Each structure stands twice: as C-alpha cells, then as structure tokens.
C-alpha cells in the first residue's frame, strides 16, 4: 500500500470562499463550522465565504477560520478515504494535523487556536515586529547572519521552508540588518504581510501563557505518525507532544527537515488538506527532480474527486 501524507496549511493560505463548497455538500462540515462558532462566538462561515479580507486576516479570526476549513476538508476526505500514513501541519496548521493524528479532539483544536490567536495578537500589539523571507541562501548562511543581527536586537529563523527559502522574524531594526546582509550576499529579501513577529521571543509572554492553557487540554497517543515543527521528527508520547507544542510559538518551523523525513520514509503521495497551494508549492521545490511522489490539493469538490479517483 502506498504511503500517503496529509499536510495542513496555516496563515497565508486564506481566501474568501474557502470551505464553502464542502459546507453546502456535507452535514459533517456544517457541524464543524457550527462547533467553531459556538466556541469562538465569531461568524466564521460568513468570514470564510464572504470576508472581508481585512477582517478575515486578523489573527484572532484567521486562526480559527483556517483551522475550521482544514478540518472541513479533512472531514470531506474521510467520508471516503482514511488510509493515510502520516501528517504534518505548517505552524498554525500543526493543530489540524494533531486532530488528524488523533492527538486532540476537534473541539480542543478550535479552543487552542482561538486562544493562540488571542495571545499572539496581544503580544504583537505590545511588541511589534517584522518577518522577511530570505530566498537564495542556505540555513547555515542565514543562521550566521541572524547571529550577527542579534547583536542589535531580537531576530531569529521563523521558518525553514525549502533548502533556500528561509523566513526570519523579530524586531524591525534587527530584521532589516539581517535582510541587508542577505541581499549583500546575493539573496532576495521579501517582506511578508503579517501582523506580528511570529516564532520569535517577542511573543514569549504569549508562549508562556499558552503553555499553561495546554495543560487544560487532553492529549492522546497519536493514531497516525505526526511530524512536528519544532523537532522535524515524530513522537508517539502524548506528554512529549504537549511539551513540544508548548515551545512551538517561539521556535523555528523546521518544515524542510520534516518533509525530507517523510521522503526518507518513502511517502509516495502528499495531500495538502485545506485552502490554497502554499505547501504544494514548497514541496515541489523540496522533492528531488526524479522523485516519483504525487502531490494533490484538496480544498474543493473538484480537487477531492480527483484525489479519490486516483487513490
């Protein structure tokens, strides 16, 4: 049997209209939206289907919105197909992966991402910062530049997305210094449209408070293999997974390493479960040119039908 991986996107994958086809098609999906609205008291379905984008992209709304759509897409797939081997999620998307792996319930996933969004928004307001994508340098080269930049303020690696695409995060002057070093060494530096310096110590207070909140949530041993952002490795210990998730907010997302781990474990089919094509785009840059793996997106009915037809 082919090894299949489900990948869940995070912030940056949102668009107006996301999840709407599945909402009209499946009772189980409508129940997921209703559950989110009961927990958050936010009209998530209206935000997801109609926007406006300015309101949808507010961190406190976006985190439960994208997660709800991820879970909706997962529910649509699982009506017909449950034979996936492993999963992972990018930053926010990791909470959807925890649900897919059976580690936490859907309800607790929504509670966690709603709390996470509130805390991150609070700290971003208190400690504003920036994120830039550095394209064209290795992780070792960028890490050296980050070490230099830290002499002038808070800056760190937020995401290692592909071999040569690395996102840095932190205070404005320190991020600008690292970006200048990167461009002087032939890289591109692209400012990202984000409302805070995610995965940096500027949101350390949020991480500390979120750790306490994690203790109120039931974590189970995973039923599917899950590759975690902080370690780029799997764990079958529920307490260890909770502890690792407690570090996720301020730690680097080791996406490139996690995807290579899946490739080493002979995953043959990768499915981006949720809105957009961000993770599929990254994966195309990570897979070796001669690698036979197939990549699917499942964010609407047409994409779902193609995946089910082929698998």
* Active site residue ranges: 91, 199
CB 137 within 8 A of CB 187: yes
Main-chain phi, psi angles of 17, to 5 degrees: 100, -10
Q: How far apart are CA 116 and CA 300, in angstroms?
A: 27
Q: How far apart are CA 94 and CA 171, in angstroms?
A: 25
Q: How far apart are CA 197 and CA 280, in angstroms?
A: 24
Main-chain phi, psi angles of 161, to 5 degrees: -85, -45
Label residue 199 left, alpha or beta by phi (over 0 means left) and psi (-120 to 50 means alpha): left
Bridge partners of 131?
169
Main-chain phi, psi angles of 188, to 5 degrees: -95, 145
**Number of alpha carbons in the 13 Å side-chain half-sphere of residue 217:** 29
> What is the gyration radius of the CA atoms in the chain, in angstroms?
19
Could you tell me the strand order of the sheet in which 165-170 lies? 155-162, 165-170, 130-135, 188-191
Instruction: Tally Cβ neighbours within 10 Å of residue 309.
Output: 7
């Amino acid at each position: 049997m082919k090894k299949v991986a489900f990948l869940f996107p995070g912030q940056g994958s949102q668009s107006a209209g996301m999840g709407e086809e599945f909402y009209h098609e499946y009772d189980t999906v409508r129940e997921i939206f209703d559950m989110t609205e009961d927990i958050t008291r936010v009209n998530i379905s209206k935000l997801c289907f109609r926007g406006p984008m300015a309101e949808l992209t507010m961190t406190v709304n976006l985190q439960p919105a994208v997660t709800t759509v991820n879970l909706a897409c997962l529910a649509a797939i699982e009506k017909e197909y449950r034979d996936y081997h492993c999963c992972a999620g990018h930053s926010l998307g990791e909470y959807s992966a925890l649900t897919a792996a059976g580690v936490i319930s859907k309800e607790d996933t929504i509670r966690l991402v709603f709390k996470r969004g509130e805390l991150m928004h609070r700290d971003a307001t208190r400690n504003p910062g920036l994120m830039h994508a550095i394209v064209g340098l290795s992780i070792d080269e960028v890490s050296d530049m980050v070490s230099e930049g830290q002499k002038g303020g808070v800056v760190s690696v937020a995401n290692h997305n592909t071999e040569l695409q690395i996102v840095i995060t932190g205070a404005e002057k320190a991020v600008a210094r690292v970006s200048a070093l990167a461009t002087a060494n032939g890289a591109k530096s692209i400012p990202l449209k984000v409302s805070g310096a995610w995965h940096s110590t500027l949101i350390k207070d949020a991480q500390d408070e979120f750790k306490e909140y994690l203790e109120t949530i039931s974590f189970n041993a995973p039923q599917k293999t899950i590759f975690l952002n902080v370690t780029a490795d799997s764990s079958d210990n529920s307490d260890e997974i909770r502890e690792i998730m407690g570090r996720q907010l301020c730690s680097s997302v080791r996406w490139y390493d996690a995807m290579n781990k899946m490739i080493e474990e002979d995953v043959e089919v990768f499915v981006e479960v949720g809105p957009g094509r961000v993770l599929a785009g990254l994966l195309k840059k990570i897979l070796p040119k001669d690698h036979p793996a197939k990549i699917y997106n499942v964010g609407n009915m047409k994409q779902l039908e193609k995946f089910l037809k082929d698998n």
